[in-house]
Structure 1
Amino acid sequence: MTLLHDEDLASAFNHASRSYDTLVAFNPGYHRDLRRSARRLGLPEGGRGMRVLDLGCGTGASTAALAAALPAAEITAVDASAGMLKRAAAKPWNDSVTFVHTPAERLAEAGVEGPFDAVFAAYLIRNAANPDGVLATVRDVLAPHGRLAVHEYTLSGRATHRGVWTMVCGGIVLPVATALGDGQLYRHLWRSVVDFDTSDEFAARVSSAGFDHVRVLPLPGWQTGITHTIVARRALDAAAADR
Structure 2
Amino acid sequence: MNLLRDEDLAAAFDHAARSYDTLVAANPGYHAHLRRSVRRLGLPGHGEGLRVLDLGCGTGASTAALRSALPGADITAVDASAGMLERAAAKPWAAGVTFVHSPAEDLREAGVKGPFDAVFAAYLFRNLSDPDAVLGTVHALLAPGGRLGVHEYTLSGRRADRAVWTLVCRGIVQPVATALKDGGLYRHLWRSVVAFDTAARFAERLRAAGFERVRALPVPGWQTGIAHTFVARRAHAAPGDAR
Bin for the TM-score computed over the shorter chain: over 0.9
SS in 1 for 2:118: strand
1:71 aligned partner: 71
Give the deviation of 1:242 after TM superposition: 2.1
2:197 partner SS: coil
Deviation per residue, 1:37-96 (Å, 9 max, x gap): 011111100011100000000000000000001010000000000000000000000111
TM-aligned CA distance change 1:9 to 1:241, over 3 Å: farther
Q: In structure 1, what is the equivalent of residue 146 of structure 2?
A: 146
Amino acid at match of 1:202: F
Give the superposition deviation at 1:145. Answer: 1.1
Cα distance in 2 between the residues matched to 1:116 and 1:40: 17
Residue 212 of structure 2 aligns to a residue whose secondary structure is: strand
Counterpart CA distance in 1 for 2:63 and 2:240 is 32
- Amino acid in the other structure paired with 2:94: N
Distance 1:157 1:144 in 2: 33
**In structure 1, how many angstroms separate the alpha carbons of the residues matched to 2:201 and 2:16?**
30
Structure 2 gap segments, 5+ residues each: none
What percentage of aligned pairs have identical amino acids?
Answer: 74
* 1:190-229 matches, cutoff 5 A: 190-229=190-229
Q: Classify the secondary structure of the residue corresponding to 1:109.
A: coil
1:165 — aligned with what? 165
Distance 1:31 1:177 in 2: 20
User: How far does residue 241 in structure 1 lie from its aligned partner after superposition?
Assistant: 5.0
TM-score (norm 1): 0.98
Instruction: Identify the residue that residue 242 of structure 1 maps to in structure 2.
Output: 241
CA RMSD of aligned residues (A): 1.0
| TM-superposition CA deviations, 1:4-62 (whole Å, max 9, x none) | 11111000000000010111011000000000001111110001110000000000000
The answer for the alignment partner of 2:113 in structure 1 is 113
State the partner residue of 1:104: 104
1:29 corresponds to which residue?
29
- Which 4+ runs in 1 deviate beyond 4 A? none
2:60 maps to 1:81: no
**Residue in 2 aligned with 1:137?**
137
Q: Quote the Cα distance in structure 2 between the aligned partners of 1:14 and 1:223.
A: 26
**Aligned match of 2:16:** 16
1:237 Cα offset (Å): 5.5
1:2 paired to 2:2: yes
SS of the residue aligned with 2:185?
helix
1:235, CA displacement in angstroms?
A: 2.3
- The one-letter code matched in structure 2 to 1:242 is D
Q: Which amino acid is 2:182 matched to?
A: D
Alignment: residue pair count: 242
- Give the drift of 1:2: 1.3
Q: Secondary structure at the match of 1:129?
A: coil
Bigger Cα displacement from structure 2, 129-138 vs 228-237: 228-237
Query: SS at the partner of 2:18?
Result: coil
2:91 equivalent in structure 1: 91
What's the secondary structure of 1:42's corresponding residue?
coil
**Counterpart-to-counterpart distance in 1, 2:240 and 2:166:** 46
**CA, structure 1 residues 242+13, in 2 after alignment: closer, same or farther (shift >3 Å)?**
same
C-alpha distance in 2 between matches for 1:242 and 1:132: 24
Structure 1: stretches of 5+ with no match in the other structure: none
SS in 1 for 2:109: helix
CA distance in 2, matches of 1:221, 1:149: 20
